[in-house]
Amino acid sequence: MSTVLEQIEQQIAKLSNKAVKKNTGTITAIADGVAKLNGLSDVMYNEMVQFPGGAIGVALNLEEDEVGCVVLGDVANLKEGDEVQTTGRLLSVPVGKALLGRVVDTLGRPVDGKGPIDAKEFYPVERIAPGIIVRKSVSQPLFTGIMAIDSMIPIGRGQRELIIGDRGTGKTTIAIDTIINQAKINRVGLASGDKDFRPVYSIYVAVGQKSSNVVRTMSALEAAGALEFTVIVAATAADNPANQYLAPYSGAAIGEWFMENGMDALIVYDDLSKHAVAYRQISLILKRPSGREAFPGDVFYLHSRLLERAARLDGKGSLTALPIIETLAGDLAAYIPTNVISITDGQIFLETDLFNQGIRPAVSVGLSVSRVGSSAQIKATKQVAGKLKGELAQFRELAAFAQFGSDLDAKTKAQLDRGARIVELFKQPQGNPLPIELQAAVLWAMQNNYFEAIEVKKVVAAATQLKDFFLTRKDPLLTKIRTKAALNPELEAELKTACDEWKTTLKA
């Protein structure tokens, strides 16, 4: 027996005396969150590097003599000559459902004060996007709850739809409303007990945002009950550029977990303009050659490799991306906007003029497009909104001509009146996404001239009444539209009866 014990002791001794090999280097220079290192001969590209004091870095430039490394964390205590170690691991973040309802930083560490996150798995931050074979075309809708978007610029699961516009035009609001709508749909779907129901989990990545904005977003999501289906990745303006540069990739890794595990996820990058600026800063400090507007040559790849990670996978789930870009004075032809427009599958363009006119969401129908098109729409929406985009475009054209002349023929006048009513109908307050069945019902009423007799100024109020009427008194009809996802003569007859009933209440 004693020999057995000796053997075990020897084994323990072997383990406890095992030397640990580390590859080390020293800091030769450090500035603005970027460290130049001497040594680290074994370091890999994108490998995590351990700085003294617990800070983590990522090796980005591997040169003959030195290694350029971005530092994710407090650089205040780092100095020239400090020893740095390789970790043998690529930068990775915790993933999984444990992150839902939490606010994390670029490295997936909680920053909301709700305690540690019990994540079982880690995914690398940088990952090659899914290839061609594993992908499936986008055909399942992802409802934003915003009538103007769902009816005219439909978004599908796995699509990349850019939200673009000047500052203060409601870009973030659209993204937040979409997240809130997913939570609402999830709740209804999960309560229905439908086995085929696929919930959509959301990830909101704040890049270079003010901390107060992140708090506001978090509160808005919490108030709407959407936080429990959402992960917020925050790299605020106070974080160093390295964190801001890597945050969208961390968010994508968190989203990929849902996609790889047969679930659907939505990711919002708010915003990629600031992301490009953070990357420009890092690149300039790393002395990479600069190009147009001082952005480095690989700024296109910066966004294309990120957005390519959004996909719908065959036999698995999907990751839908809503990147946000802020333009200056509506300039869509600037460097970063054109890059991202060309990468994405369409854009929702928000106009300052429309916003100031009180048309909110200020979606410019003419400049907005969804390249996935009607394949990401349910039949009911196609039936009621198929021609809406054309009608609205015609209305804008006519309205532009009409302002020069006073004599209009009856047909033109009718078209203008109808267009003005559609515009009014699409006005929607923030934080109030509409279920798709309600949108279909309201649009059906509009297509069947129930708003024609109502004064243009009163259309918004009437539409609100109609929505309330359907929600409070015609819930079974809405449920039927939702489950059938198409309008048949029977449902149309029911809609007609309901709208007639509503009209009588309106008169009263």
List residues with catalytic annotation. 371
Q: Candidates 167, 210, 287, 371: give the one binding another protein (CB under 8 A).
A: 287
- One residue of 42, 80, 397, 468 binding another protein per CB under 8 A: 42
How many Å apart are CA 231 and CA 6, to the nearest integer? 52
Q: What are phi and psi of 267, to 5 degrees?
A: -125, 135
CB of 352 to another protein, least distance (A): 44
Contact between 448 and another protein by CB under 8 A: the answer reads no
Question: Is there binding between residue 57 and another protein (CB under 8 A)?
Answer: no
Q: Which of 32, 38, 122, 332 binds another protein (CB under 8 A)?
A: 38
Of 33, 39, 73, 296, the one binding another protein (CB under 8 A) is 39
State how beta strands 200-207 and 264-270 pair: parallel
Rounded to whole angstroms, how far apart are CA atoms 402 and 218?
A: 45
Distance CA 462, CA 299 (A): 48
Tell me which residues in 4-23 interact with another protein (CB under 8 A). Answer: 17-23
Interface with another protein, residue 290, by CB under 8 A: no
CA distance 442 to 436: 10
80 binds another protein (CB under 8 A): no
Q: Which is nearer to another protein, 297 or 358 (CB)?
A: 297
Q: How many residues bind another protein (CB under 8 A)?
A: 18
Binding mask of the shown chain, residues 160 to 199, with x at each position contacting another protein by CB under 8 A: ----------------------------------------
Q: Which is nearer to another protein, 54 or 315 (CB)?
A: 54
Cis ω for the linkage preceding 468 (within 30 of 0)? no
Q: Identify which of residues 40 and 91 has a Cβ nearer to another protein in the complex.
A: 40
In Å, how far are 93, 256, 327, 340 from 122, measured between CA atoms?
5, 11, 35, 28
Residue 77 CB, nearest distance to another protein (Å)?
Answer: 16
Question: Closest Cα partner for 337 from 351, 347, 327?
Answer: 327
User: Of 151, 204, 83, which is closest to residue 389 (Cα–Cα)?
Assistant: 151
- C-beta separation of 129 from 342 below 8 A: no
CB 41 to another protein: min, Å: 5
Question: What Cα–Cα distance (Å) separates residue 265 from each residue in 29, 212, 313, 318?
Answer: 41, 26, 12, 6
Binding residue for another protein, selected from 40, 235, 247, 310, defined by CB under 8 A = 40
> Which string of x and - marks every residue 228-267 that binds another protein (by CB under 8 A)?
----------------------------------------
Q: Which residue bears the tokens 């590097």?
A: 49
Task: Compute φ and ψ for 139, nearest 5 degrees.
Answer: -145, -10
For another protein, give the closer residue by CB, 19 or 132.
Answer: 19
User: Cβ closer to another protein: 22 or 167?
Assistant: 22
Residue 71 or residue 103: which is nearer to another protein going by CB? 71
How far is Cα 269 from Cα 205, in angstroms, rounded to an integer? 5
CB of 286 to another protein, least distance (A): 12
Contact assessment for residue 105 and residue 93, using Cβ atoms and an 8 Å cutoff: no
State the distance between the two ends of the chain, measured CA to CA, in whole angstroms.
Answer: 97
Residue numbers at the binding site for another protein (CB under 8 A): 17-25, 38-42, 54, 65, 85, 287
